[in-house]
Each structure stands twice: as C-alpha cells, then as structure tokens.
C-alpha cells in the first residue's frame, strides 16, 4: 500500500521542502510513489533527491507530444466506473476555465488512472492548482481518496470556485501558514478539512556553523548580504535592489544572490542602471551544500517578498528558516506567513513590502551594528529550532497516511 504524490515537477531545486518531506515520510515507514506533471529542467539536484526511494512516473507534459499514449489511456479510462463523473466534472470546469491547461490536466489524469502504479491507496497533490486538478479527476475515475498540501501561489491565484469544489471532495488539506489556513477554511464546506502544518526544517542538514562571524561594521571589510530565491516578481528583488541603491556611501557591503528565474536578466540590468554591478555577485541556481556554505559566509540574509498584481505571494519561505538555522540575522517583509516565523526586532527585522526606503534603513542598521546582527541571529536560531522542526509536520502527515493502512487492514 502506497501514497502517490502528484507534483508539478520533480526534482526541483526550489522545492527542497517537498523533497525533505517525502524522505522524512519514507523514514517513518510510509511507502511513496511520485507522479510528475513535468520533466525536470534544473541541471543539478540536491543530495536528498538521491536518498528518496520513490519511483517517478512522468505524465505527458504536452498531450500532443505523446498523443498515442494519451489516446490509449483515455480509451482505458473510459472503462473505469468513475470516468463519467470525472468527465462531467472536467466539462463543468472547462466551461469556467476554457484553456488548454484545463484540457491538459484531464488528459494527464487519464494517463495517471491508466498507468497507476500497483498498490496505490491514496492520491496526494502538492499544490492546490494544477496538481490538485489532476488528482481530483484521477480520484473520481479510480475511486481512490485524495488529499492535498497547499502552499502559496496555488492558494492565492486559484479561483474561489475551484478551491471550494476541491475542498468539498478531498478528505483533508494541510497548508503551511496561518494566513493560508484562515483563507481556505473560509471557503471550505467543512472548515475542519483544513489544517495548519508547517513544513519545518531538517536540522541534520543544517547543523550550526562551527565558527563565529567577524564583527564587521561596514567601515572595513564588506558586510555580506545574501538572498536565496527565484527571480520572480513575488520575491521583490527589484525592491531590494532599489533599497541597496539607497544605502549611504560611507558603508562597505556586498550582495550575493542565489537562484535562477525568468527575471534574472532584468534584475541584472537594473543593478547596472543603479551602478551596483561591482558590489553584486549573481551565483545562479546552487546545490544545498553551496547554499549552506553561502549562509555561513554571509552576515545578513534579506528577502523582500511582496504580493503581486495577480495575488501571488510567498507562504513561509524555507530559506528564512535555513538562514536562521545558521544564526544569520534576517530582514524580510510582513507578507503572508513571514511574521509567523520572524518576530520584528526579536528574531529578525520586518519592513512593509515594496518599501525601499524602509528596507534601506533596516539594512543600514544591520550593516553598522554587529551586536544587533548577533542578537537577532541568535534569537532567530532559537525560534526556528523551537517551533519549526521538520519532525512535527512529518509526524502529523505520517499519522494521516497510516490511517489508510489501518482502514485496509480492518
């Protein structure tokens, strides 16, 4: 008996929180298989991906590329007792969302139902948008129960009608911020369907640094500001660059960025226009070992998250937990679930999103005051260890998934 995790893409460097969850569940005796809607695009993987035992079924990313496979799957799916209900659900969705993406999800669900690995007793989608649509259609076809983990963009950019209907059909949903939990409960026919379960951090992969950071104050060697995140609008890197340009000329600093993403060229051009190029190092996508080394080499961690025009926003970024695990002073914004981790002037500094002057003022204070950095970094490390361990969330999920085994045994 196994749980099939339905993921948008696997493996992904930016989704270590999913990989560490899968590995933690395997270590707790939960058998997992993976279905991925996309093939990997990252050229690297993290070590944890090599530790995961689950096999991966890659669904056709574009239906026309594997037309024969899709046609055979749909013909077989039509023989399933739940196909008519799944098709009716899909047609109702398509009327409200007449897109190729919606058609693609139904085709992928047919392939999943036809090629379902043996022994699967539950479908579990990571993300409430497209993976949950595939899970929903496939669950209707096969009669399997399904559940979901919701995160950030998928919560805030999915239409309410879509969320309501999924919450009415799935068994349970977990999400990783109190803000997301409250919103989803307001849409659920039964609010108890939705639970808050933090991702947490695997501290065995982020042991404390063995050295003490030098007490730099911006007058000699540069103070290193680090940020880790994809170059997408919700990460607020345009605001962070604008803030860096506002820093006074009498302090010495450098900025390092880790991550890929579509906006990277535009951000690099913005940095040139602001005459920041000589102080910035763009490192691209990196392995977890390289991220850990960069965290230990940094003095400040900054993430200027914001809400975009379409409602997209961060949930509770794991990179903030990773930074705090290394005793690094963090600066971020009041968006979404970030204040659930970072308490202003206690375990970090928070500024309003999109406020470059406030961000610059906070950076200036952190650069000049190594004692402030040390205080915030130490408090942040205590907080993340006390409240955001991977074990709590993994134990909660393991209990949920074991119920299927117990029901089958009964």
Percent of the chain scoring above 70 in pLDDT = 99
Average pLDDT over residues 301-321: 95
Q: Both 346 and 360 in a single domain?
A: yes
Q: Both 176 and 273 in a single domain?
A: no
Q: Both 382 and 404 in a single domain?
A: no
Could you write out the DSSP letters of every residue in 275-317?
A: T-GGGEEEEES--HHHHHHHHHH-SEEE------TTS---SS-
Q: Both 96 and 231 in a single domain?
A: no
Write down the pTM of the prediction. Answer: 0.89
DSSP state of 110: H
Q: Both 337 and 379 in a single domain?
A: yes
Q: Both 261 and 180 in a single domain?
A: no
For residue 11, is the peptide bond before it cis, meaning its omega torsion is within 30 degrees of 0?
A: yes
Residue 315, in any domain of the structure: yes
Average pLDDT over residues 320-347: 97
Helix (H) or strand (E) holding 331: strand 329-333
Average pLDDT over residues 303-331: 96
pLDDT at 42: 84
User: Do residues 325 and 228 touch, judged by C-beta distance below 8 A?
Assistant: no
Token digits of residue 134: 């595939």
Q: Both 393 and 383 in a single domain?
A: no
pLDDT at 44: 85
326: helix, strand or coil: coil
pLDDT at 22: 97
Condensed to tens digits (0 to 9), the pLDDT of residues 168-187 reads 999 999 999 999 999 999 99
Q: Both 154 and 281 in a single domain?
A: no
Whether the per-residue pLDDT at 194 is higher than 80: the answer is: yes
Residue 259, in any domain of the structure: yes
Domain CATH number, residue 47: 3.40.50.2000
pLDDT band at 407 (very low <50, low <70, confident <90, very high): low
pLDDT band at 410 (very low <50, low <70, confident <90, very high): low
Give Cβ neighbours of residue 197 (< 8 Å, ≥ 6 apart).
149, 174, 175, 176, 392, 393, 396, 397
Residue 343, in any domain of the structure: yes
Burial class (CB in 10 A: 0-12, 13-18, 19+), 377: buried
Could you write out the DSSP letters of every residue in 148-203?
A: EEE-SHHHHSS-HHHHHHHHHHSS-EEES-HHHHHHHHHH-SSGGGEEE----B-T
Asked whether the CA dihedral 275, 284, 14, 204 is positive or negative, the reply is negative
Residue 6, in any domain of the structure: yes
Q: Both 338 and 396 in a single domain?
A: no
pLDDT at 409: 60
Q: How far is CA 129 from the centre of its chain?
A: 13
Residue 320, in any domain of the structure: yes
pLDDT at 199: 86
Average pLDDT over residues 110-134: 97
**Residue with token string 């490390």:** 381
pLDDT at 405: 66
Q: Both 174 and 228 in a single domain?
A: no
Token digits of residue 379: 């408090």
User: Do residues 110 and 35 touch, judged by C-beta distance below 8 A?
Assistant: no
Average pLDDT over residues 45-73: 96
Average pLDDT over residues 25-41: 96
User: Do residues 148 and 135 touch, judged by C-beta distance below 8 A?
Assistant: yes
Residue 215, in any domain of the structure: no
Whether the per-residue pLDDT at 408 is higher than 70: the answer is: no
pLDDT band at 192 (very low <50, low <70, confident <90, very high): very high
Condensed to tens digits (0 to 9), the pLDDT of residues 212-239 reads 999 999 999 999 999 999 999 999 999 9
- Domain of residue 43, residue span: 2-200+389-409
Q: Both 359 and 398 in a single domain?
A: no
Token digits of residue 164: 């309501």
Number of domains in the chain: 2
Average pLDDT over residues 158-162: 97
Residue 75, in any domain of the structure: yes
Q: Which residues of 129-156 are buried (b: 16+ CB within 10 A; e: fewer)?
A: bbbbbbbbbbbbbbebbbbbbbbbbbbb
Residue 194 sits at the vertex; the CA angle it makes with 191 and 200, to the nearest 5 degrees, is: 150
Q: Both 12 and 126 in a single domain?
A: yes
Average pLDDT over residues 314-325: 95
Residue 196, in any domain of the structure: yes
Per the prediction, the chain carries an average pLDDT of 95
pLDDT band at 43 (very low <50, low <70, confident <90, very high): confident
């Amino acid at each position: 008996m196994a749980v099939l995790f339905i993921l948008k893409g696997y493996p992904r460097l930016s989704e270590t929180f999913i990989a560490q969850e899968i590995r933690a569940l395997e270590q707790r005796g939960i058998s997992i298989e993976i279905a991925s809607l996309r093939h990997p695009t990252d050229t690297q993987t993290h070590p944890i991906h090599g530790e995961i035992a689950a096999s991966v079924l890659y669904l056709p990313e574009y239906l026309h590329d594997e037309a024969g496979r899709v046609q055979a799957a749909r013909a077989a799916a039509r023989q399933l007792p739940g196909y008519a209900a799944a098709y009716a659900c899909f047609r109702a969705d398509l009327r409200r969302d007449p897109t190729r993406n919606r058609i693609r999800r139904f085709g992928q669900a047919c392939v999943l139902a036809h090629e379902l690995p043996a022994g699967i007793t539950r479908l579990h989608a990571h993300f409430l948008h497209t993976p949950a649509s595939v899970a929903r259609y496939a669950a209707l076809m096969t009669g399997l129960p399904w559940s979901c983990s919701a995160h950030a963009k998928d919560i805030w950019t999915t239409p309410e009608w879509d969320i309501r209907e999924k919450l009415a059909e799935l068994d349970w949903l977990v999400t990783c911020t109190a803000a997301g939990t409250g919103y989803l409960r307001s849409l659920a026919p039964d609010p108890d369907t939705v639970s808050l379960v933090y991702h947490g951090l695997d501290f065995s992969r982020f042991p404390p640094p063995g050295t003490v950071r030098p007490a730099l104050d911006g007058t000699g060697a540069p103070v290193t500001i680090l940020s880790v995140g994809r170059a997408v609008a919700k990460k607020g890197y345009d605001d962070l660059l604008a803030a860096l340009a506002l820093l006074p000329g009498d302090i010495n600093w450098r900025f390092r960025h880790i991550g890929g993403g579509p906006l990277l060229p535009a951000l690099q051009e913005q940095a040139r226009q602001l005459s920041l190029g000589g102080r910035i190092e763009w490192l691209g996508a990196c392995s977890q070992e390289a991220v850990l080394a960069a965290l230990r080499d940094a003095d400040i961690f900054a993430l200027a998250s914001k809400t975009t025009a379409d409602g997209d926003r961060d949930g509770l970024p794991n990179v903030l937990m990773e930074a705090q695990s290394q005793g690094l002073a963090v600066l971020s914004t009041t968006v979404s679930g970030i204040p659930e981790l970072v308490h202003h002037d206690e375990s970090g500094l928070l500024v309003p999103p999109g406020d470059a002057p406030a961000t610059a003022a906070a950076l200036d204070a952190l650069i000049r005051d190594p004692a402030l950095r040390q205080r915030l970094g130490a408090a942040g490390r205590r907080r993340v260890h006390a409240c955001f361990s991977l074990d709590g969330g993994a134990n909660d999920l393991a209990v949920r998934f074991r119920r299927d085994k117990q029901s089958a045994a009964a």
